[in-house]
Amino acid sequence: MTRTLMEVQGIRKKFGGITAVDGVSFEVREGEILGIIGPNGCGKSTLFNCILGQLPPTEGRVMLDGDDVTGLRPSAMNRRGVSRTFQLLQVFPQLSVRENLVLAGQEHKGTMFTRLFGPRDAGLTPDANQMIDFFRLGHLAEEKAGGLSYGQQKLLDAAMAFMAGPRMVLLDEPAGGVNLTMLGHLEERLRAMNTERGATFVVIEHNMDFVMRLCTRVVVLAEGKKIAEGTPAEVRANQAVIDAYLGH
């Protein structure tokens, strides 16, 4: 039942002399919520970028459904049902919140050409409206995304990642700057998508409470290498993790 959805094999990424990710391997099982934690600068975001084709890995492979998808472009990955959020704010600042969401949903049906002749708001599924309500963005739907507050943009970014009904979402610090009440909602939402639709999540997060509550399994990186892997409780008790990351 818990099929392997994605397999990350020995990913290494060098920037000039710096090795940001140093041979990291792990697998993501279908329907799980996997946490990735590690100190600042240990290579988490870079790892995401390599998995999703935003950066070419120096070494290593990424397998999705058993196919080698290393080096596929992010758009292709996205159309295979893998979407993501970003650590730093990434929205379309001059577009309204609604347009941001419609855009996030439109590129998944048909080909580029059928879309040209299709309806303008093909991306505006019932989901979109639901998403707007869910993230409490209703009163901001017609505002330009660039004028939102930090936390609001963060939420919009997450909402965009969910728009196309992805099988798998990679979230890079979704909780940063999000109000705790809202974070509770987000958590519920992830869990709901996980149980109802079987969506898989990989979450980078520094908010340990969030990780502990949400994740079924956690991978710990330090200085580009994987130093631990296990259930949240196991990881939390691991001395190496405490030394490198959690502190006292």
Which residues, 6 or more positions from 181, have their beta carbon under 8 angstroms from its beta carbon?
A: none
DSSP, collapsed to helix, strand or coil, labels residue 72 as: coil
With tokens 């970014």, the residue in question is 157
Within 56-95, which residues bind another protein (CB under 8 A)? 73-75, 78-79, 83-84, 86-95
Q: Which amino acid is at 10?
A: G
CA 9 to chain CA centroid, Å, is 19
Select from 90, 6, 105 the least CA-distant residue to 52: 6
Residue closest to ligand ATP when measured from CB atoms: 151
Q: Does 100 contact ligand ATP by CB under 6 A? A: no
Q: Map the footprint of another protein across residues 29-48, applying CB under 8 A.
A: 37-41, 44-46
Q: What span, in angstroms and rounded, lies between the C-alpha atoms of 104 and 8?
A: 26
Residue 150 sits in the site that holds ligand ATP (CB under 6 A):
yes
Q: Give the count of residues interacting with Mg ion (CB under 5 A).
A: 4
Q: Binding mask 36-65 vs ligand ATP (x if CB under 6 A, - otherwise)?
A: --x-xxxxxxx-------------------
Place of tokens 């292709």: 76
Q: Which does 245 bind (CB under 5 to 8 A by kind): ligand ATP, Mg ion, another protein, none?
A: another protein
Stretch that binds ligand ATP, among 14-22, 88-96, 157-165, 227-235 (CB under 6 A): 14-22
Give the range of 70-78, 98-106, 142-150, 235-243 binding ligand ATP by CB under 6 A: 142-150
Say if CB 213 and CB 187 are below 8 A apart.
Answer: yes
Per rule CB under 6 A, is residue 181 in the interface with ligand ATP? no
CB of 21 to ligand ATP, least distance (A): 7
DSSP 32-48: -EEEEE-STTSSHHHHH
Number of residues that bind ligand ATP (CB under 6 A): 19
| Residue 9 backbone phi and psi in degrees, to 5 | -120, 105
Closest to ligand ATP by CB, 74 or 165: 74
Determine the interface stretch with ligand ATP among 15-23, 67-75, 156-164, 235-243 (rule: CB under 6 A). Answer: 15-23
Residue 56: CB partners within 8 Å, gap ≥ 6?
50, 71
The residue range among 23-31, 56-64, 114-122, 126-134 that interacts with another protein, by the rule CB under 8 A, is 114-122
Task: Report if residue 150 touches Mg ion, rule: CB under 5 A.
Answer: yes
From the CB of 183, what's the least distance to another protein, in Å? 7
Residue 200 β-bridge partners? 168
One-letter amino acid for residue 2 of the chain: T
List of residues 6+ apart from 23 with CB closer than 8 A? 10, 11, 12, 59, 60, 224, 225
Using the rule CB under 8 A, is 141 a contact of another protein?
no
Binding site for ligand ATP (CB under 6 A): 15, 18, 20, 38, 40-46, 87, 147-152, 177
